[in-house]
Amino acid sequence: MDGRPVRVLELRSALGAGGGPEKTILLGAAMADPRRVDVTVCYLRDARDESFSISARARQLGVRYVELLERHSFDWRIWPALRRVVREHRIDIVHTHDYKTDALGWSLARTDGVRSLATVHGWIRNTMRERLYGVADRRLLAGFPLVLAVSERLRQTLVCAGVAPERVRRLLNGVDSRWFDATGVPRAVLRERLGLPADATVVGSVGRLGAEKRFDLLIEAAARLDPKPVVAIAGDGPCREALTRLAAERSIDLRLLGHCDDVRGLYEALDVFVQSSDTEGIPNVLLEAMAMRTPIVATDVGGTSEIVSDAAHGLLVPRRDVRAMAEAVRRTLAETGATAERLARARRRVERELSFAARTATLDGIYEQLAGPRRAAA
C-alpha cells in the first residue's frame, strides 16, 4: 500500500432535508480520520425539488460536497458527470445508500474499477413500485463485495435474499452524545420558542411526514388519552394535510413544526417521544431521544429492539396497535420513578455502546480493508 488515505465517495439520492441516513453520512464524513479516510459526499438532486437543503448542512459541517442535478428521476446525464467525479477525486470506494445509487455504484465498479460498498438503511414499501425496487435492490446487492446492514433484521433479510453471509456485516448507527445532551435552557423557554403551550402535556416525534412513519397512529393514540395531549412533530412531507385533517376530526391540538435544523430543544420540550413507524432500520431519532433523556414509546419494528430494550430504555409496543401505544404513553407519564430509571439507562447506553465516534472508527477500518487490493495496485 502507498500509505495514503482511502478515497471514499459517499453517494446518495434524497429529497428535501432527507432523513436519518443524511445525519449518518454527513456527520460520518465530518468525523472521519483524515489520516485514514478522505471523504467526498455526492448527492443526486432532483431539479424539481425546491425544498432540498442537504447542501447547506454539508457546508455547516465543513464536508467536501458535490451535487449532481437531475432533470427527473432517471436522468441519463448524471452518469458521465458521476464518472468525472470519480476520476477527478481518484476515488477508491463508492459507498452507496439507496436503490438508485446502489445501481450506480455497481456500474462504476465495472466501468471505473472502484470498489463498491453499500449500506442498507431499510426499504420503504408504501407502493407496489417501491416494493419492486426493494426486490431488485436486494438482488443487485448480492453482487457487492461487502454490504453493511444497520440492523440484524436487515442483515438477515439480505442473507435470505441471496447475499452471501460473509459479505454482510451489521453496523449499528450511533449518536454524538456530546452534541445531543442537555441544552441548559428551561423547558418553558424551549416551548415558547417552538410555540408550544407551557403547561400542557406534549407528546411528539421527529421525522418525514410519510405514510411509513404512521403519525396518524400517534394522533389516534393521543385521542385515547385523558386529558388529550398536544402532539408536536418536527418534519415535513406528503402526509401533512391528511394529518391536519385527522387531528381536527379527533380534536387533537397538532403542531407541525416543519424541518428543524436543531431538534434538541424539541426533545427537551416533549413529555414523551413516540415512534409510531411501520418500518425502520436503526432509527436515529431514537438514539437522539435516548441521548437527550427524553422518555420513549416506540413500535417494535426493524432494528428498534436492538437499541431500545423494552422496560429498560423505553416502552416498546406492537406496530399498528393504537391501544398499546396509548397505554404505554399513559404509563410513561404516570410511573415517574420507572421512567426516570429508563432515562438514565438509555443515556448510559448511548455513551458506552452506541457512540458515533466508535461507529466512525469501525467504518474507517472497513474502508481500509475493502480498499486494500486497489491501493496496493495504485
Find the angle CA(361)-CA(363)-CA(368) to the nearest 5 degrees: 95
332-375 per-position pLDDT tens digit = 999 999 999 999 999 999 999 999 999 999 999 999 999 985 55
Interatomic CA distance for residues 369 and 74, integer angstroms:
33
Q: What is the pLDDT of residues 211-237, one digit of tens each?
A: 999 999 999 999 999 999 999 999 999
CA distance 310 to 296: 10
pLDDT of residue 261: 82
Q: 257: which 3 cell numbers?
A: 413544526
Residue 161, phi then psi, degrees to nearest 5: -85, 0
- For residue 375, the model assigns a pLDDT of 56
Regions in the chain scoring below 70 on pLDDT: 1-2, 373-378
pLDDT at 1: 45
Task: Report which of 286, 256, 292 is spatially closest to residue 274, judged by C-alpha positions.
Answer: 286
Q: Give which of 180, 113, 175, 182 is closest to 145, Cα–Cα.
A: 113
List of domains in the chain: 6-174+355-377 (3.40.50.2000), 187-352 (3.40.50.2000)
pTM over 0.85: yes
What's the pLDDT score for residue 378?
52
The DSSP string of 302-313 is TTHHHH--BTTT
Residues 256 and 131: their CA atoms lie apart, in Å, by 29
Cα 141 from Cα 163, distance rounded (Å): 7
* H or E element in which residue 266 lies: helix 264-269
pLDDT of residue 127: 87
